[in-house]
Structure 1
Amino acid sequence: MYAINVIDEGTSSNAVRDRLHNRHVASLFIEEAELVGIDQPREDLIKLLVTAEDKLKVISVVGMGGLGKTTLVRKVYDNEKVKGWFNCHAWITVTQSFTYEVILRSVLTQFYGVRNEPLPERIDTMEGIQLMETLRVFLQDKRYVVVLDDMWHINAWECLKYAFPNNGYGSRILITTRNLDVGISSQETSGCVYNHKPLPPAEAWSLFSKKAFRNIPGGVCPPELKALSENIVKICEGLPLAIVTIGGLLSKKGTFLEWKRLHDGLLHSMLANNPNLQPITRILLLSYNDLPHILKSCFLYFSIFPKDHTVKRITLIRLWISEGFIESEKGETPENVAESYLNDLIDRSMVQVAEHYDHGRVRSCRVHDLIHAIARLKSKEENFSTTLVTRNSQVHERIRRLSIHNNDEDLKDISLSHVRALFIFGANSLLFSSIRNQFHRFRLLKVLDLQGAPIEKFPIEFGKLLHLRYLSLRNTKIRKLSKSIGKLQNLEILDLKGTYVSELPKGILKLRKLRHLLAYHYYTGRLPSFYYSNGVKLPEGIGRLKKLQKLTYLAANEDSNIVKELGNLTKLKRLGVMKLRSKDGANLCSSIEKMKSLLSFSVQSIRTDEILDLKSLSSPPPVLQGLSLRGPLQTLPHWISSLNNLVRMRLRWSRLKEGSLGPLQSLPNLVELTLIHAYDGFKLHCQRGGFKKLQILDLEQLMNLKFVIVEGAMPNLRKMYIRGCLQLKAAPLGINRLMNLKELHLFDMPDVFVQRLRKNGVEYSKVKHIPIKRTYDNEDTIYEEL
């Protein structure tokens, strides 16, 4: 019920690699069959939402923690019928410590983002009444649906209700809450309270069996475990979170004695500090206690982040590595081992996947609020981390990891000599000024995360952090690094993404342990730009940093020596090179051939008329999964046809001639293909049987394109985007046979083309099977359901 899904993975001598591959593929095909007891409640709520009643209606889903209210409402919110019925959608997690200005900004951001409209000016400085008025004006002529998830107190609704106008268009608000009073209080507007119940015994057993016996042929309970299993399900009291968690835990137990030991512990485990959560937390605590020691540290890291905080997968992995949590395994990189740890936590239902990339890989994760409570409880018991949320918070005299949440408390009276990691969430100038004066006291600091902090200059005090391994200045306003960066000789990760740093000092060459260097910011204008991001200029000698695994993005400019030096970085897995000249192509190819572990490669020419000369690459990286080429190509490089592991391909401003895409069509694992100003032909003809695994096709600004033929190709296509292809005469031929196609998005397409696909259009029959069909006007930034 909580959408915490476990993938069968089998056994293999290369266990870590197999687990990663299986998860990336299987995550694309998670089915609702994994859920139990959700069908009827989902249909009930959909009927309440999708009705002809024009009044604003508020539906409150009420029930105790652990019943699956959020999962149920998420399935309703993501339902294709619901998506098509409303033209504005927003999902907000309220939580106990809500701030209604933050909520209103989040609602506005989601509404404008979904409709591809620019946010109002000064939204970050608006106060509550201004935000409310802005939201009401925006919604006055729209049918909207808003989910307010996890609302704890009546005053939360009292603060928010006036922001949502009863505009007569049949808008809906869905609330999930544990408090019946909240549900009742919201009914002064038309609506109802929906009481969500625990699972009945038969469905509870079905859900338990799916989790606990997933590794047994047929999913049947062995006779010797039947009595224990039935008693465990009874103890879980129909709470889906408890059933999923304990079932996932038991699936890893192979003997009767292991099951008996867990069963007996289940009978006696209690969480005395929070009696309201005892039915659930006693089970979650068992799951924590069953974790191997190293996984406990990895799990407890979630206690550092605020409740409901989503953490990027790669960020979590880098933090674990920097902390020294990752035990190396023979033949595996720390990154792969760390990812296997994360997958293990997901399998044990301790961590949830929050978001996947379109191509299937886990992008971000989170923990359920109750599991977050377990992490905070155990973190406090074991002095793993200390969180400052309010002023004068009680802290341990020996703080190991310090996390500051929207707090400006002065640190001068707090012992900092044992702090290994420092995180700041919602930093202000006063707080950072206080911390800056204390850096000499952080003698053991390994991790410093100042993402989004109000910093404009690189503090020279950083040079005192001699043990620092991880430094994130992401999304700060820093423009230049000082030479003191060279003192951080233990630094492994330097994150400058979203800053204005354009050149790195020579001191960077002293960081011989550096493994990840991110230094770029994206172009943020409305119109597409050839230079979609700005990289950094590196000093000569960058080839000395032989441990680098990620380098994005290097601005080559006119420095041929830098391109040659890249050949020394043989451990690179991800590389981005910008402003490349044609004459540097041979040197770049020579360097790339030495990178046998390269997974992702992005290259951009210095100008729109400068050819990307990559033909001399005779032996491309064998495990390459992502390739982005920006700039004119005389033809597709011959070596592309050998990229059997390629998943994502993006071509921009390539100017390829008609019939030149043949090498891509036979790639066995290509999932995503994007063509932007990349194809000059009149006809794009996909061969029958081509693009067998393609799921996402994005055609943008193909100015000569008149016909697209997909007949007999792309059997697994799920999403199609067509943007600004102004000469396109008709819907792709064969689109009516793409039975897996779920979404068709048209941006800035001529009216005559769009009219053919509307319900009264001559080609509507070809696309009527597609659940989501939308046309967007880039000038007015609005969309219309077809």
Structure 2
Amino acid sequence: MGADVPISSLLEKLNKLKDVVQEGLIYPGLRNHVHVAIDELLRIRNELEEAEDTSTLLPTVYSPHDTTTLLHTVYYSEFLIETFLLNTPIQCRQDDLKNLTKNPPLMAFPIPPWTQLRFSSKLKNIVKSLKAVHSEPRPRRDHPAINYKTDDDDDDDDDDDELVGFEDVAKDLVDRLISKQKSLRVISLVSEEAMGKTALVRKVYNRLDIRQYFKCRVWLHVPKNIECKDLLIVLLKQIPMGVLKGVELMSKDELSALLFQTLMELRFLIVLDDVSSFDVWLMLACPFADAANGSRVILTTRYSKIASDVDPWSRPPLELKPFTDKLSWELFLNKFRVGRHCHTDTHHQLDSYKVKILQICGGLPPAIVLLGRLLSSIQSNELFGGIDYLLVDSGKLDQSPLSNIIALCFRELRSELKLCFLYLALFPKEYEISVQRLLQLWIAEGFVKTSSTQQPEDIASKYLKELVRRNMIEIATRKEDGRHKTCRMPSFLHDFFFPKSKDIGFIHSHHCKANCTSIDSSAQPNIASPADQPNTDSPAQPNNVCLSDVCFKAQKRGTFNKEINEFLETIIDRRRSRGFALMKVLDLEGAHRPWLHVKLGKFLSNLRYISLRWTGVDSCPESIVNLPCLETLDLKYTNITNLSSSIWKAKNLRHLLMNEVSIPKPSSSKQSSTSMSNIQTLTGLLIGFEDPKEYGLNGFTNLRKLGLTCHSTSSVGKPVDCISQLNKLQTFKLRSRDHQFGQPSEFKIHGNLTSHPSLSNLYLFGVFKGGNLPENLKTLTLSMTKIEEDQMRELGQRLPQLNILRLFADSFVGEKMNCLGGGFPKLRVLKLWMLETLKEWIVEEGAMPELEELEIRGCEKLEKSQGLERLSHLKELTLTNMKREFVEHVKQNLASMDRSHILLTNDFKSSTSLA
């Protein structure tokens, strides 16, 4: 990994500049300088990619002085180009062209001619600097153009749950966890090298039997230099014990006592991942209560001394050692999946490479997995030519086997994938990031290539799938329908790439400071920007040029929020604000009530992405709403109830996420639909008594997700008419509330949605009085709909494609729910929550034959059920706040049918409002 990453970013900006200089109003000399700069950067990047030593930060083809000069030049170039593009309209008006000869030059040019001339001169100097870095011709290597599959070629983009080579260790770990020994025990896993400790423990941690055995499970990645108080706070906030207030104000002793008292009442499993100091365990030795109920702690570490000392009374630590050749090859073939698409003798041909593959992987599972996925990504018709080249190339590397494989896998990524992948190093180690958030950040940063035939979100999703398929990004959690929900960079990759990303100035992070008291979930703001550079002979780079600011949800507020507010104050301070005008991302998610100056947006006119999610702010400055480049505005889980009508003029807005926010109607519905022609997500819009067509919603033809709240019976049917015209809509959320008291009001779905071409996810809140639902629905959520027994039977027959059905509070008001035979043929997930009138539930033969997950919560009158034993595919049954008699009845039924493989949990939690 090296300068090819920032060079790729600069090339993207130069290509945008090339589009701008095609206009007649731009100084003609720029054209040549732009093309020469692109050619020179391509030459340098090719040399970097062809250099033999790909494991180092920069290939040895460049001297250290060349390296420093090159990076400085690249970052300075980015600053100049971003500044110029920010002040230059991409499309000039025809009127300007016509008046060019009539008006003085100053009036004809959007940017004064002398500014353009000065920029052209600076770009010319940049080209000279690039050429000066290395002007001697280099012999070209025979670098074959290896073609890799895209997600269109292979839909197998997900990692599997197989523990190839670790079966015995996993079995031993499970046995220790659920052994009959009642006293608290600490189980240590140790290996000096990256062997997959975290992945192994995570899969055991998520097993059904482990989830059933331990009522409380907590996972904590332990950074270095963590303070005891911070560790205790984060542990407490992960334990299901209701709302915690004021823990940040407690002393260490008070927190320790509270944790002890809480854990005494639970059988818990706590994972302390990547412990680097014995002092961490000493912090927790007292508050980890031993209630003699079988509680366990799992500790992973690279240090055998720590592993053996944390619990001298326990069995010896589980030590992970490099795989034997037999296990290594078994794991490699498990990850090398190209055989599904090739001739049957592919694996026989592969045997000739066995010795070389085993040699370069060194028995390390992460290296084996990465190499297996890399090789299986090669197009089938080029497979063995590509393998020959890559294996010979990797044999020339001189670092550890894992580092060599990591460097090789990174080098073989396309330039845009390199940028997207490295962006995850911005987040703390083991941090789970929302996939939706990540894709939108990639787009805002300009990492996603534009296309005339595909939406940026679809292209970004393909990038993610490819990185997942190569095991360079792992999926942390999934939604109920199987889609990716959160993801993270594997810990061993984060260890490798985070320092290198900082070295090349791709990111500048605060959460890595030695004196930083915050940890994963309470990290300091991270800035994806060039770090401050020393003075060199290259053009001077402006200090503190901030291109993005990304925060992480804070578990504690004090210091974290103070630094956030100081940062925001700096932006609007004219004496210190140089460079902030280029910011593309301002992500303040989780910062508690940050200070948003009324003119903040005027200093950040280049912003593409703004998130105030979970900040608790009361208002959004109009200067932010008026930003010309804004693509994503996330106001979810704030106290914002009103937004300026100028948001309808946001021509580039793609995602507007809110929670029941009122926005005045635009002056013209036609104007709003024209301005917001790119909008894809619009949620939480409160339209009250208005017709949604007056907002121009029927003209938002690119909408994929829409959420509306109405106030009257007469207005509820109108949104349904509106969405029938939105052929790309996939998700629709409709709430019908009484204006005065906020109670659910009646509505009926008018019009025919049965044949809607794309609508697959529907959420309805309000008293449902009938109507036709789309037959191709896959997810249906009902709340306060008060449907009766006959309607429930109809749903089972009319929705043959339904995968997920959620029946929340008062969605069903009958006493008896009968699922008829043949009903819900594809249903996989069913949730019955707070159905206060339900007394009996019957599953007839042939009903819900594919059901895998069933959750019944807070149905306090439910006394009996019949037919649960008929659900042959049921894997997980969760009962929450249910009568003990009902729970015992279910247990007896399952036991009598030998259904011990089903995860049955029964928790008593405080009810959650689903309104």
Relative distance call for 1:67 and 1:186 in structure 2 (3 A) is: same
Structure 1 residues 140-155: aligned runs within 5 Å: 140-155=264-279
- Letter in structure 2 aligned against 1:432: N
Q: Distance in 1 between matches of 2:446 and 2:648?
A: 23
Give secondary structure in 1 for the equivalent of 2:733.
Answer: strand
- Deviation for aligned residue 1:220: 6.2
The residue aligned with 1:296 is 418
Q: Distance in 1 between matches of 2:855 and 2:337?
A: 41
CA-to-aligned-CA distance 1:403-422 (integer Å, 9 cap, x gap): 83599xx9999945643222
**Percent identity among equivalent residues?**
30
- Letter in structure 2 aligned against 1:238: G
The residue aligned with 2:494 is 372
- Deviation for aligned residue 1:212: 2.0
- Deviation for aligned residue 1:371: 0.9
Q: Distance in 1 between matches of 2:894 and 2:507?
A: 60
- Deviation for aligned residue 1:566: 1.6
The residue aligned with 1:598 is 729
- Deviation for aligned residue 1:681: 2.7
In the alignment, structure 2 segments of 5+ residues that lack a partner are 1-148, 516-522, 535-540, 555-559
1:138 aligns with 2:259: no
Relative distance call for 1:86 and 1:763 in structure 2 (3 A) is: closer
- Deviation for aligned residue 1:766: 5.4
Which of 362, 368, 383 matches 2:484?
362
The residue aligned with 2:368 is 243
Structure 1 residues 499-518: aligned runs within 5 Å: 499-518=638-657
Q: TM-score, normalised by structure 1?
A: 0.85
Q: Distance in 1 between matches of 2:561 and 2:765?
A: 39
CA RMSD, 1 decimal: 3.0
Name which of structure 1's ranges 597-606 and 735-744 shifts more when overlaid on structure 2. 735-744
Which of 661, 666, 687 matches 1:540?
666
Which of 589, 602, 607 matches 1:468?
607
Name which of structure 1's ranges 420-429 and 258-267 shifts more when overlaid on structure 2. 420-429
CA-to-aligned-CA distance 1:513-563 (integer Å, 9 cap, x gap): 11111122xxxxxxxxxxxxx444444355442321111101122233666
Q: Distance in 1 between matches of 2:263 and 2:662?
A: 42
- Deviation for aligned residue 1:577: 0.6
The residue aligned with 2:212 is 84
- Deviation for aligned residue 1:626: 1.2
CA-to-aligned-CA distance 1:39-68 (integer Å, 9 cap, x gap): 211111112122222222111111133212
Relative distance call for 1:435 and 1:550 in structure 2 (3 A) is: same
- Letter in structure 2 aligned against 1:540: P
Asked if the contact 1:712–1:734 (Cα under 8 Å) also holds between the matched residues in 2, the reply is no
1:725 aligns with 2:859: yes
Q: Distance in 2 between matches of 1:392 and 1:91?
A: 23
Give secondary structure in 2 for the equivalent of 1:462.
Answer: helix
Q: Distance in 2 between matches of 1:668 and 1:261?
A: 51
CA-to-aligned-CA distance 1:662-719 (integer Å, 9 cap, x gap): 2444534322101121222333222323322212111123333333222322222121
- Deviation for aligned residue 1:434: 4.0
Which of 525, 530, 537 matches 1:404?
525
CA-to-aligned-CA distance 1:478-530 (integer Å, 9 cap, x gap): 2112332354111111111121110001332332211111122xxxxxxxxxx
- Deviation for aligned residue 1:728: 2.6
Relative distance call for 1:486 and 1:136 in structure 2 (3 A) is: closer
CA-to-aligned-CA distance 1:405-464 (integer Å, 9 cap, x gap): 599xx9999945643222234532244224422353212111111222344553222222
Which of 405, 424, 449 matches 2:551?
424
The residue aligned with 2:749 is 614
Structure 1 residues 534-683: aligned runs within 5 Å: 534-541=660-667, 542-543=672-673, 544-560=675-691, 565-607=696-738, 608=743, 610-618=745-753, 621-635=756-770, 637-640=771-774, 642=775, 644=776, 646-661=777-792, 662-665=794-797, 667-676=799-808, 677-683=810-816
Q: Distance in 2 between matches of 1:358 and 1:338?
A: 22
The residue aligned with 1:703 is 836
Relative distance call for 1:329 and 1:461 in structure 2 (3 A) is: closer
Relative distance call for 1:457 and 1:507 in structure 2 (3 A) is: farther
- Letter in structure 2 aligned against 1:477: G
Asked if the contact 1:90–1:110 (Cα under 8 Å) also holds between the matched residues in 2, the reply is yes
Q: Distance in 1 between matches of 2:710 and 2:888?
A: 41
Asked if the contact 1:720–1:744 (Cα under 8 Å) also holds between the matched residues in 2, the reply is yes
Give secondary structure in 1 for the equivalent of 2:298.
Answer: strand
The residue aligned with 2:236 is 108
CA-to-aligned-CA distance 1:112-146 (integer Å, 9 cap, x gap): 1xxxx413331233333222111101122432221
Relative distance call for 1:703 and 1:214 in structure 2 (3 A) is: same
Asked if the contact 1:446–1:470 (Cα under 8 Å) also holds between the matched residues in 2, the reply is yes
1:305 aligns with 2:427: yes
Asked if the contact 1:285–1:374 (Cα under 8 Å) also holds between the matched residues in 2, the reply is no
Asked if the contact 2:565–2:594 (Cα under 8 Å) also holds between the matched residues in 1, the reply is no
The residue aligned with 2:306 is 182
Relative distance call for 1:755 and 1:376 in structure 2 (3 A) is: closer
Asked if the contact 1:91–1:146 (Cα under 8 Å) also holds between the matched residues in 2, the reply is yes
Give secondary structure in 1 for the equivalent of 2:812.
Answer: coil
Asked if the contact 2:564–2:591 (Cα under 8 Å) also holds between the matched residues in 1, the reply is no
- Deviation for aligned residue 1:357: 0.9
Asked if the contact 2:509–2:527 (Cα under 8 Å) also holds between the matched residues in 1, the reply is no
Asked if the contact 1:516–1:549 (Cα under 8 Å) also holds between the matched residues in 2, the reply is yes
- Deviation for aligned residue 1:631: 0.5
- Letter in structure 2 aligned against 1:678: S
Structure 1 residues 202-221: aligned runs within 5 Å: 202-216=326-340, 221=346
In the alignment, structure 1 segments of 5+ residues that lack a partner are 1-13, 272-277, 394-401, 521-533, 782-786
1:196 aligns with 2:320: yes
Give secondary structure in 2 for the equivalent of 1:146.
Answer: strand
Q: TM-score, normalised by structure 2?
A: 0.74
1:688 aligns with 2:821: yes
- Deviation for aligned residue 1:627: 0.6
Which of 359, 383, 390 matches 2:505?
383
1:44 aligns with 2:182: no
Relative distance call for 1:712 and 1:165 in structure 2 (3 A) is: same
Asked if the contact 2:212–2:905 (Cα under 8 Å) also holds between the matched residues in 1, the reply is no
Q: Distance in 2 between matches of 1:138 and 1:341?
A: 43
Asked if the contact 1:386–1:403 (Cα under 8 Å) also holds between the matched residues in 2, the reply is no
Q: Distance in 1 between matches of 2:230 and 2:796?
A: 45
Asked if the contact 2:592–2:614 (Cα under 8 Å) also holds between the matched residues in 1, the reply is no
Q: Distance in 2 between matches of 1:508 and 1:779?
A: 39
- Deviation for aligned residue 1:264: 1.5
Q: Distance in 2 between matches of 1:780 and 1:454?
A: 26
1:489 aligns with 2:489: no
Give secondary structure in 2 for the equivalent of 1:365.
Answer: strand
Asked if the contact 1:706–1:727 (Cα under 8 Å) also holds between the matched residues in 2, the reply is yes
Relative distance call for 1:98 and 1:191 in structure 2 (3 A) is: farther
Asked if the contact 1:592–1:620 (Cα under 8 Å) also holds between the matched residues in 2, the reply is no
Name which of structure 1's ranges 665-674 and 342-351 shifts more when overlaid on structure 2. 665-674
Structure 1 residues 764-783: aligned runs within 5 Å: 765=896, 768-769=899-900, 771-778=902-909
Relative distance call for 1:751 and 1:181 in structure 2 (3 A) is: closer
Give secondary structure in 2 for the equivalent of 1:508.
Answer: helix
The residue aligned with 2:876 is 743
- Deviation for aligned residue 1:324: 1.7
- Deviation for aligned residue 1:177: 0.9
The residue aligned with 2:466 is 344
Q: Which has the larger radius of gyration?
A: 2
Asked if the contact 1:417–1:443 (Cα under 8 Å) also holds between the matched residues in 2, the reply is no
- Deviation for aligned residue 1:219: 7.8
Give secondary structure in 1 for the equivalent of 2:481.
Answer: coil
The residue aligned with 1:71 is 199
The residue aligned with 1:450 is 588
Relative distance call for 1:537 and 1:87 in structure 2 (3 A) is: same
